[in-house]
Amino acid sequence: MYTKEELMQHATNIRKNIIKMVTNAKSGHPGGSLSSADILTTLYFNVMDIHSDNVNSLDRDRFVLSKGHASPLLYAVLKEKGLLEEDLLSFRMIDSNLQGHPNMNYVAGVDMSTGSLGQGISAAVGMAIANKLDKNDHRIYALMGDGESQEGQVWEAAMAAAHYKLDNLCAVLDYNELQIDGSVHDVMDPAPLDEKFQAFGWHVIEIDGHNYDEIANAFEEAKNVKGKPTLIFAHTIKGKGVSFMENNANWHGVAPTPEQCEAALKELGGE
């Protein structure tokens, strides 16, 4: 187990790499990558059973990035964990394995190809059913966006997960309250998401998605829930860690200039 301080150091490295990758590619999605960084760091370093010996096997915990545009985060986490060979700066370049949206056939450790919102959570339901069938005790994790929850398919998946009592499935909803066209509440209000998932038969845990104790406790609690899937409803800040990106929808899918990159890296602690 890593200490909170160690996790925070890893998350800082990951945030820096996100900024570098997106800047270098001159495209990509910094906002939603930064908002989920603390959650994914905790998940990969302290919760999931994944390491270089089992990365190519189904006999491990698996993760679906349903909000596939946060690919810089996933690649940076895999790199920080020592599971990724690719040069992070090949992100979004021609002939690279690090596609703009993740491709499971190109990168070991990417468990599902995603990018079209709403579909990843359904795939996670399928994986959780398969694990039940195969008496595989490993768990399935998924990360969704709050804008993504506007897709009807998310609710079809939510219904199916509860119907099949998938207590081996734990989804995290990144509630940063922003999507591309602005505030989720202005575009198409999905609230109250906690109550909706409860009504769909899920166990819901509400947390601050940047508080490491709360993140760790939520994943632990989810492991002990029986007979229903768990949703971790995480309040987050889009762009977290880079002050000029925080809570600003304009940083959803725009790359920083080299100067902005420098300022961001400085704020994250040098380099």
Partner 1 sequence: MAKIATREAYGKALMECVRTNPNIVVLDADLSGSTKSGSVKKVNPDIFFNMGIAEGNMMSVAAGLAASGKIAFASSFAMFAAGRAYEQIRNSIAYPALNVKICASHAGISVGEDGASHQCIEDIALMRVIPNMRVLQPADAVEAEQMIPEVVKMEGPVYVRMSRLATEQVHDENYKFVPGKVDVIHEGKDILIFASGLEVNEAKLACDELRKEGIDPTLVNVHTIKPLDEEGVVELAKKHKHIITVEEHSVIGGLGSAIAECLIKNYPTSVTMMGVQDTFAESGKPNELFKKYELDSTAIIKKVQEVYGNDKVER
Ligand X SMILES: Cc1ncc(C[n+]2csc(CCOP(=O)(O)OP(=O)(O)O)c2C)c(N)n1
Binding site for partner 1 (CB under 8 A): 25-28, 68, 92-96, 98-101, 103, 113-118, 147-148, 150-152, 179-181, 184, 187-188, 190
Query: How many C-beta atoms lie closer than 10 Å to residue 252's C-beta?
Result: 22
Which does residue 41 touch among partner 1, ligand X, Mg ion, none (CB within 5 to 8 A, set by kind)?
none
**209 is a contact residue toward Mg ion (CB under 5 A):** no
Which does residue 61 touch among partner 1, ligand X, Mg ion, none (CB within 5 to 8 A, set by kind)?
none
With beta carbons less than 8 A apart as the criterion, state whether 218 and 232 touch.
Answer: yes
CB of residue 129 to partner 1, shortest distance in Å: 23
In this complex, which beta carbon is closest to ligand X, that of residue 138 or of residue 144? 144
Q: What are phi and psi of 147, to 5 degrees?
A: -65, -40
**180 is a contact residue toward ligand X (CB under 6 A):** yes
Q: What is the DSSP string of 137-164?
A: ---EEEEEETTGGGSHHHHHHHHHHHHT
In this complex, which beta carbon is closest to ligand X, that of residue 79 or of residue 252? 252
3-state DSSP call for residue 261? Answer: helix
- In the list 65, 84, 117, 237, the residue contacting ligand X (rule: CB under 6 A) is 117
**Running DSSP on this structure, what letter comes out for residue 89?**
G
With beta carbons less than 8 A apart as the criterion, state whether 262 and 39 touch.
Answer: no
**213-216, long-range: CB < 8 A, 24+ apart:** 213/4, 215/38, 215/39, 215/42, 216/42, 216/46, 216/47
Stretch of residues binding Mg ion (CB under 5 A), selected from 16-24, 104-112, 171-179, 263-271: 171-179
Q: How far is 137 from 184, CA to CA, in rounded Å?
A: 36
**15 is a contact residue toward ligand X (CB under 6 A):** no
Q: How far is 22 from 39, CA to CA, in rounded Å?
A: 20
- In the list 102, 109, 147, 239, the residue contacting ligand X (rule: CB under 6 A) is 147
Q: Residue 271: CB partners within 8 Å, gap ≥ 6?
A: 16, 265
In this complex, which beta carbon is closest to Mg ion, that of residue 35 or of residue 122? 35
CA-based nearest residue to 70, from 36, 111, 93, 95: 36
Which does residue 239 touch among Mg ion, partner 1, ligand X, none (CB within 5 to 8 A, set by kind)?
none
In this complex, which beta carbon is closest to ligand X, that of residue 60 or of residue 124? 124
**176 is a contact residue toward Mg ion (CB under 5 A):** yes
Stretch of residues binding ligand X (CB under 6 A), selected from 132-140, 146-154, 187-195, 239-247: 146-154
CB of residue 62 to partner 1, shortest distance in Å: 19
Residues in touch with Mg ion (CB under 5 A): 145-147, 176, 178
